[in-house]
Amino acid sequence: MAKLKIVKLGDDTLRKVCRPVDKITPRILTLLDDMAETMRAAEGVGLAAPQVGVLRRVVVVEVEPGNLIELINPKIIAYSGTQEGSEGCLSIPGKYGTVTRPMHVTVRALNRHGETFDITGSEFLARAFCHEIDHLDGKLYIDIATDIESN
């Protein structure tokens, strides 16, 4: 595994729509592993492939240490409720903003074995899913945040 460079706000990669993964290759598996290592080293709870300069629909999320969730071609298929809370981003260091997100989301994705699965997250996990999946469409939390502050 390798720690990857996290691209920062201003890099055009963050504003591009990512391509779907057609086939799970050794390169995609390495990307998943490297993204998890990079996210943990940066003390983040989620990371999307465009944040490491790769325009593919790949996300890793780990809101509970030791419970890594890998999502390939994720799509939100259901959501309900609302929550408002603070968000930051590894690609926008030192800034935070208040964002309204669904309270519950269900995501359909492929796992590293190419199997389709659904996963439902609530509260912070739902927020992380939405934040990372937005990255795959070139959207950043600052596009919808209010009260953006620096720490």
Residue 34 host element (H or E) = helix 26-41
Annotated catalytic residue within 62, 70, 87, 132 = 132
Does residue 132 have an active-site annotation?
yes
Residue 133 host element (H or E) = helix 124-136
Token pair for 102: 């669904």
Can you tell me which residue has the tokens 């969730």?
A: 69
Can you tell me which residue has the tokens 């990512």?
A: 18
> Could you tell me which residues come within 8 angstroms of residue 44 by beta carbon, excluding any fewer than 6 positions away?
90
Q: What are the residue numbers of the active site?
A: 132
